[in-house]
Every structure is written in C-alpha cells, then in structure tokens.
C-alpha cells in the first residue's frame, strides 16, 4: 500500500519528471492535468485547483473552483515511457474548496454507495470483462473500421499482430499492479476481450478507466486504435462490459437472492447509465447472445443476469447488459444501490428464465431509457440532483442532434423512391 512518504521516495528513485492528476468527468471520460514533479507535495496536500467545467463535461456560464484530491493507492508509473524522465499518475477525487466532495464527482458517488454497503455489513467484490475492437489508421492518420485480421472466437493466426498487442496490454497492466485475467480474440474480426479480476468495487472502476487509457496507448504504438464503441460496424458483434459480482454461500446466499431481485427491479431505469450512448441500443437488439430479457438464468445468455454457483461455495452474478462506453463509477453505483435496495426490502428471487420464455425487455432506445430513469426515484437519488440534471440534459441534447441528422441509411432507403 502506498503512502505519501514512499510515493515521494519512489518518485525520486525513478527520476520521475511529470505527474498526471487523472479524473473522470460525469460521462466517464478520463481526463488529466499534468504537473512538473516539483508540485508533488502540493498535489498530495490537495492544493491543486482547477475549473469545475472539466468535471461536469460541459462548459456553462457559471463555473466554480474545484480541488484535486489524489488517492495515493492509485499511484502508478507509466511503464511504456522511458524511465529517465518518466511520468507517474494519481486518480483523484474532486472536492469543493470547503473540503466537501464536489457534487459532480462520480467517484464520490460510488464511494457513498460502498459506504452504505459497508454499514449494512457487505463488502462488494466485482470483476469485469471488457470487449473492444482494434481498427486500422489510414495513411492520412484518419480512423477507419477496417480490421487487421479476419479471425474469430479464440483464434490465433501464425503471425498475429493483435496477439502481440494483447500480450503487451497484459504485461503493461501487470507492470502497474493490475491483476488482469485471460485475454483472447472475440467473435468479431478485430474484436478482443480482456478480463479484470475481481476486487474492491472502487479499485475495479479505477482499473477500468485506466485500462481504456492503456488499451488506446498500446494500440497506437502498434499502428492501430482501440475502440469500446458498443456497435461500431453493421453486421458485426457488439462490444459489452460484463460485471461479475461475487457472493460467498452460507448465510449470504439468501442475501444474494435479494441482491439479484433488486438489480432486476431497477435494470430498465439503470440502462440510461450502463448503456449511455445512442449507439448502445444498436447493440441491444433482439438476437442470439444479446442480453435483452430482464431476468436471470444459469445458461440463457439472452438474460440480463447470468448466475453461476461454483464448487468453492461462491455465487457469481454476471450483469451482462452494460457496455464500456459507460462511466464505470456511476454504473457500479446504480447497480450496487439497486442490489442493496433488494436486500433492504427483502425482494424475492424471481424464477429463472427458461429458453422459450419472454418477459420484460430492456429499453430499445436512449429516449426510452431516459424516461425509465426519470421515473425511478432510487436511481436518480444515487446520482444526486447535480449530476442527474447535467446528465439528462446532455443526453437529451444528444438525441436531438441525432434526430436532426440525415443518416446514410435514410439516403439508401428513400432517396431513389421519393
């Protein structure tokens, strides 16, 4: 475990020259402010101030000063840069100048939910699978949707640039202290998956935002780019981010059932957070392996939840509908809060979904998801009024921009017949 004292010592021994204070905005975009290492003491003391617009994710007429509060446990040295003159980082909470959490800090939102879980006697352990595509960059340095390979599920070609890239990603994650699990080629050409092993929910969210950053950095080194866009190409599989919640058997088994009931009870509303893009709902369409049914099952992958009980006495609850475009702090916060609500209300565990059964489905559009979210007081209370109003307004403006745009499908469908 890092302390302020050994962070200073590590910085000195590794000749670190610059320091990045990293944080996410309300929409989950990782940002940072770079400082010379001479500011390390000021940073550790919470004396670096900035403008709140970077956290809100929107620029408005009325802004306020914020302060970066580094979490020392997130200290890491970037291993892909030369050690002479290296760069280190902290992930930061965001505070007001009066020392209180800034209401737009999504990391603080997750911590509030985890504090509530601790008061109820629960520690939340969760892992994740992250799917992503690797695409080429053309000679003009523009992004394309052309893949480097035509492989499929767990395939390995004799000379595989992307296999080497995945190896570099895993080694880089290990170098900064992440316990990354299996990584392999997914079903779509150019599509891959990487596993982040279970741990504390806050640590997992930190690892997820860091993994996005590392994936993109390593991909660029190989002349490719990584995207976690939920549905980047028509006719190819979409990309998801599955959360794996763990619960030990015994007295906790009944609570796990309540937890599942709570998640399902709020899933439709939470989709506005776990699946935040218009494009997210291009992935969430009825079809094989698409988790559209608000239900749980042991083996039916059309269900939002997959529940697995193993021989070691652990129940694993897989939440399968989120995608990696979400803000993981807010996504975990609303899911965990829903589960805790199920425990508090002792919601019954509904029967598992059978293959031929049909029930409630996830929202089919962002607009439907936002309406569900707006009518769900629990979900809105998790975010708080400040984040909710900014988030809902931005997403409704996003829908309006989309609605006003003429899409290639419309031209193909209507131009010659109108």
Report the CATH number at residue 87: 3.10.20.70
For residues 321 and 389, state if they share a domain.
yes
Is residue 108, in this structure, part of any structural domain at all?
Answer: no
For residues 95 and 171, state if they share a domain.
no
For residues 121 and 222, state if they share a domain.
yes
Which residue, of 76, 100, 124, is where some domain finishes? Answer: 100
> What is the domain count for the chain?
2
For residues 63 and 118, state if they share a domain.
no
For residues 230 and 375, state if they share a domain.
yes
Which residue, of 46, 65, 100, is where some domain finishes? Answer: 100
State how far the Cα of 319 lies from the Cα of 333, in Å rounded to an integer. Answer: 13
Looking at residue 69, its pLDDT comes to 96
| SS3 of the chain | CCCHHHHHHHHHHCCCCEEEEEEECCCCCEEEEEEEHHHHHHHHCCCCEEECHHHHCCCCCCCCEEEEEEEEEEEEECCCCCCCCCEEEEEEEEECCCCCECCCCHHHHHHHHHHHHHHCCCCCEEEEEEEEEEEEECCCCCEEEEECCCCCCCCCCCCCHHHHHHHHHHHHHHHCCCCEEEEEECCCCCEEEEEEEEEEHHHHHHHHHHHHHHHHHHHHHCCEEEECCCCCCCCCCCCCEEEEEEEECCCHHHHHHHHHHHHHHHHHHHHHHHCCCCCHHHHCCCCCCCCCEEEEECCCCCEEEEEEECCCCEEEEEECCCCCCCCHHHHHHHHHHHHHHHHHCCCCCCCCCCCCCCCCECCCCHHHHHHHHHCCHHHHHHHHHHHHHHHHHHHHHHHHHHHHCCCHHHHHHHCCCC
For residues 167 and 229, state if they share a domain.
yes
Is residue 41, in this structure, part of any structural domain at all?
Answer: yes
Q: Please answer whether residues 277 and 284 qualify as being in contact, where contact means their C-beta atoms are separated by less than 8 angstroms.
A: no
State how far the Cα of 49 lies from the Cα of 34, in Å rounded to an integer. Answer: 12
For residues 94 and 161, state if they share a domain.
no
Is residue 105, in this structure, part of any structural domain at all?
Answer: no
Looking at residue 201, its pLDDT comes to 96
Is residue 86, in this structure, part of any structural domain at all?
Answer: yes
For residues 202 and 349, state if they share a domain.
yes
Looking at residue 150, its pLDDT comes to 66
State how far the Cα of 306 lies from the Cα of 287, in Å rounded to an integer. Answer: 17
Q: What is the CATH number of the domain that holds 240?
A: 3.30.590.10
Where in the sequence is the domain holding 77, given as residue range(s)? 4-100
Positions in the chain whose pLDDT score sits under 70: 59-62, 81-84, 150-162, 248-253, 310-313, 354-358
Is residue 414, in this structure, part of any structural domain at all?
Answer: no
Looking at residue 166, its pLDDT comes to 82
For residues 71 and 207, state if they share a domain.
no
Is residue 194, in this structure, part of any structural domain at all?
Answer: yes
For residues 65 and 155, state if they share a domain.
no
Is residue 107, in this structure, part of any structural domain at all?
Answer: no
Which residue, of 100, 122, 145, is where some domain finishes? Answer: 100
For residues 329 and 209, state if they share a domain.
yes
Looking at residue 93, its pLDDT comes to 96
Looking at residue 78, its pLDDT comes to 84
For residues 74 and 134, state if they share a domain.
no
Looking at residue 22, its pLDDT comes to 96
Is residue 324, in this structure, part of any structural domain at all?
Answer: yes
């Amino acid at each position: 475990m890092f302390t302020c004292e050994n962070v200073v010592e590590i910085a000195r021994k590794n000749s670190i020259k610059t320091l990045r204070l990293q944080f996410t905005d309300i929409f989950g975009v990782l940002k940072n402010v770079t400082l010379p290492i001479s500011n390390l003491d000021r940073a550790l003391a919470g004396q670096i101030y900035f403008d709140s617009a970077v956290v809100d994710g929107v620029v408005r007429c009325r802004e306020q000063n914020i302060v970066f509060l580094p979490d020392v446990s997130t200290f890491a040295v970037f291993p892909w840069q030369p050690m002479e003159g290296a760069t280190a980082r902290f992930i930061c909470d965001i505070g007001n100048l009066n020392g209180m959490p800034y209401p737009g800090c999504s990391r603080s939102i997750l911590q509030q939910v985890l504090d509530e879980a601790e008061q109820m006697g629960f520690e939340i352990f969760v892992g994740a699978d992250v799917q992503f595509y690797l695409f080429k960059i053309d000679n003009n340095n523009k992004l394309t949707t052309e893949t480097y390979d035509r492989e499929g599920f767990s395939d390995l070609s004799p000379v595989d640039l992307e296999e080497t890239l995945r190896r570099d990603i895993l080694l880089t994650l290990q170098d900064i202290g992440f316990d990354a699990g299996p990584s392999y080629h997914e079903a779509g050409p150019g599509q891959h998956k990487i596993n982040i092993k279970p741990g504390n929910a806050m640590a997992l969210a930190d690892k997820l935002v860091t993994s996005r950053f590392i994936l993109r950095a390593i991909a660029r080194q190989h002349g490719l780019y990584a995207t976690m866009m939920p549905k980047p190409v028509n006719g190819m599989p979409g990309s998801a981010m599955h959360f794996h919640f763990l619960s030990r058997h015994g007295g906790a088994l009944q609570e796990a059932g309540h937890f599942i009931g709570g998640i399902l009870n709020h899933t439709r509303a939470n989709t506005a957070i776990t699946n935040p893009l218009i494009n997210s709902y291009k992935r969430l369409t009825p079809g094989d392996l698409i988790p559209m049914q608000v239900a749980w099952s042991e083996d039916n992958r059309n269900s939002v939840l997959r529940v697995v009980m193993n021989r070691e006495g652990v129940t694993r609850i897989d939440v399968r509908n989120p995608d990696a475009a979400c803000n993981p702090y807010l996504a975990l916060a609303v899911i965990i809060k829903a589960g805790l609500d199920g425990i508090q209300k002792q919601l019954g565990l509904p029967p598992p979904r059978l293959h031929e059964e049909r029930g409630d489905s996830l929202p089919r559009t962002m607009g439907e998801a936002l309406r569900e979210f707006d009518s769900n007081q629990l979900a809105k209370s998790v975010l708080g009024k400040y984040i909710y109003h900014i988030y809902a307004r931005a997403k409704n403006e996003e829908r309006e921009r989309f609605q006003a745009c003429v899409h290639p499908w419309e031209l193909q469908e209507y131009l010659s017949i109108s």
